[in-house]
Structure 1
Amino acid sequence: MGRGKRSLIAAAVAAVCAVTVLTVPGTAFAAPAPTPTPLPTTNPDLTLPPSSDTDLEAVRTRLDALYHDAAVATDAYNAAEEQAEKQSTEIVELAKKIAEGREALAGLKDRAGAAARAQYRGGGLPDEAKLVLSDSPGEFLDGAGRARQGQRATEGLLGEMTRTQQDLEQYAKDASAQWQKLEANRKAKATAQKKVEQQITAAEKLESELEQEERDRLTRLQEQAAQRAQTAWLDSGALAGVDSQAGPQGERAIAYATAQLGKPYVWGAEGPESFDCSGLTSQAWASAGVQVPRTSQEQWRQLTRVDVKDMRPGDLIVYFDDASHIALYLGDGKMIHAPRPGRTITVAGAGSMPILGVVRPDA
């Protein structure tokens, strides 16, 4: 490798390091990611790019941190998008209620006006005068009873008008509040999108500055790290006694997920041509007739948790302390997931990443 190329790579690595320590405003939807570990300075000539396996291992750690931060921001984006869609729907429903309320109020006003006109045409005579002028006291009493009924009806009409007006005012307040939330979530979504793009761009730049031979070695290091984690997990006895079978809905979820093998990871996507991690798991279970939250963090928070020793195929395995990644358990120590940008949906060892816990959508 020429020294000019090596200097370019070193500059790229330095630029990526600078990008990853920039602070980006957080959102209410995702836990803050841990600060990535700085690249070690094992090479005495700091202008040289990674060349040894030790230096490439540092690049692997940096890439993992960048993609982890991108996953956290993706969860925040998905949550903000889901909330924005919900608020948009609620605003539409409130607008319908307001239109219906205005129409009802107009009808009530017409009825009130008709009642007032009828009273005016009746002359507005007091009951005592009507009794004196009446030829038949019985007819008068019948008329007085109808008058009292009319009075009660008028009072009821006025009460209904008041309640309808109050409802309209409340609908307007609710619509205004939902609109403010919608705008806040649009801003949160834009912030999360910016962070996702920053992290992915930095990771892609770091990888692109490596020579092909280095990229090949980096891939092998990544595979070896996953295999070491999987072996350690299996050796821990985590799967001892785990022999449960998937339920009918779990089987359908697995069938859906495995049919997506080879499709690309795209952040924020939920099919049918591409998926992110929680997009895959939520759509797999939706195909089985079970609606689960859109994001990995909400799937972890809302779904029923089970012990790893009790998990069965179809359960969802949640990874990392902040629940930023999720996969579908297949059985025999394997899972299927949408790993990260630049990768495709694949089967991997269930213990190849740090497990936070397991949840069951059909509990």
Structure 2
Amino acid sequence: MPVRGGRAVVAALVCCLVAATAQGAAADPSPAPGPVRPKSLAEVRDELDRLYHDAEVATDAYNAAEERAGKQSARVAALAEDMAAGRAALERLTSRMGAAARAQYRSGGLPLDVQLLLSADPDDVLDEVGRARRAQHGVDGLLREQTRVQEELRRKSKAAKGQLEKLRGSRKAEADARKRIEKRIATAKALEARLAEEERGRLLEMQKKTADEAHAAFVRSGSLKDVKGEASEQGEKAVAYAAEQIGKPYGWGDEGPDSYDCSGLTSQAWAAAKRPIPRTSQEQWRLLPRIGVEAMRPGDLIIYHQDASHVGMYIGGGSIIHAPRPGRDITVADAGSMYILGVVRPDKRP
């Protein structure tokens, strides 16, 4: 009886707890998620800046991978041609060795002393022996050449395999960068598309104000005060080329003639001036001679952002020509409207 009574008490307690829990849940339900707060225009601007910056970084990676792939493809093609020539040479050597072996077989078989005894003219036999020895030397030379050609073929085959592996790596990097670019641009466009027309106008004004304030601060710093350098002859040609492209659209990975990305524009402008320079803004920053802002002259390249992901061409008067970003056209802008990492000079004249 006591046990049964204890079980009854436990059961009653469990029922009370379940009921209390149910009542509490009914009385105090979990709050439903509220509406997501819409982004402010300042937040939209910041997010767009980030997305387009990420797209530009990926564009530089895409361009670099594409350039590497082009060089690797050319190297693979050259190795393939060399290997084909090597195989043809090996076939010719094999054929010549076969002919030499057959000739030796036909002329051989008897010892020299027997040949002298049987021959009506011993001098002919000695001449034939001399020819045979020379032929043997020729066969030895063919063997050495055959070994050399075979070794060369093995080396080039190994090099071709290595280049193919590198080419596959570059193509993968290119494809990955393409995906990153397309994803970020699609996200940015979707974000802009959600804005009302009036908001888009305000956003453009906000972006312009930010750029104007940055350039004003750049001017106040005195950085442009002593910038009075004159363009070199090549610099003038590069600036003239860039100016002709104003109004054409930005196109990531493009080098003209109908559209350009930022480094596509600068590299093609200097190519037109007969001074080839690296393809990407990061390589332009890494490899070209650096100069101080105060020493700038038209034609020099201003590299922007800490990661060297953007570049514009200085044209004098505190202005640049650049390809801004997807959805925008090549234009003239204030040199200080973005964070300046540094300045590089493509032509060698001091």
Q: Sort the TM-score into its range (normalised by shorter chain).
A: 0.7 to 0.9
SS of 2:298's equivalent in the other structure is coil
Deviation, structure 1 residue 142: 5.2
Task: Assess, with a 3 A threshold, how the Cα gap between structure 1 residues 333 and 121 changes in structure 2: closer, same or farther.
Answer: same
The whole-number CA distance in structure 2 between the counterparts of 1:346 and 1:117 is: 77
Structure 2 residue ranges without an equivalent (≥5): 1-33
Amino acid in the other structure paired with 1:121 = R
* Matched residues, number: 315
Q: Shift in Å at residue 231 of structure 1?
A: 1.3
AA matched with 1:208: A
Q: Would you say 1:265 and 2:250 are equivalent positions?
A: yes
Would you say 1:165 and 2:121 are equivalent positions?
no
- Which amino acid letter does the alignment assign opposite residue 258 of structure 2? E
Alignment-derived partner of residue 13 in structure 2? none
More moved, 344-353 vs 172-181: 172-181
The normalised TM-score by structure 2 is: 0.84
Provide the residue aligned with 2:52 in structure 1.
67
Mapped pair 1:333 → 2:318 = yes
Q: TM-score, normalised by structure 1?
A: 0.81
Unaligned runs of 5+ in 1: 1-44
What is the match of residue 299 of structure 2? 314
2:165 corresponds in structure 1 to 180
1:49 partnered with 2:38: yes
**Secondary structure of the structure 1 residue equivalent to 2:313:** strand
Question: Equivalent residue of 2:101, what SS?
Answer: helix
Write the distance in 1 (CA, Å) between the matches of 2:110 and 2:275.
69
Larger Cα Rg: Structure 1 or Structure 2?
Answer: 2
Q: Quote the residue 2:281 is aligned against.
A: 296
- Partner of 2:320: helix, strand, or coil? strand
Compute the displacement of 1:311 (Å).
2.2
1:284 to 262, 269, 276: 269
Residue number in structure 2 paired with 1:209: 194
Pairing 1:1-363 to 2, within 5 Å after superposition: 47-50=36-39, 55-127=40-112, 143-363=128-348
1:46: Cα distance to partner? Answer: 7.2
Distance between the aligned counterparts of 2:170 and 2:225, measured in 1? 44
| Structure 1: distance between partners of 2:327 and 2:97 | 68
What is the RMSD computed on CA atoms of the aligned residues? Answer: 2.0
| Contact 2:104–2:132 under 8 Å retained in 1 | no
Which amino acid is the alignment partner of residue 251 of structure 1? Answer: E
Q: Give the superposition deviation at 1:235.
A: 1.6
Letter aligned with residue 151 of structure 1: Q
Q: Deviations over 1:240-287 (max 9, x none)?
A: 322221112111111111100000111111111111111111111111
Q: State the alpha-carbon separation in 1 of the partners of residues 112 and 41 from structure 2.
A: 102
What's 1:27 paired with? Answer: none
Q: Is the 8 A contact 2:301 2:345 kept in 1?
A: yes
- Provide the rounded CA distance (Å) in 1 between the counterparts of 2:320 and 2:113: 90
2: CA distance, partners of 1:237 / 1:124 = 98
Q: Percent identity?
A: 57
Closer, same or farther: CA 222–113 of 1 in aligned 2, 3 Å: same
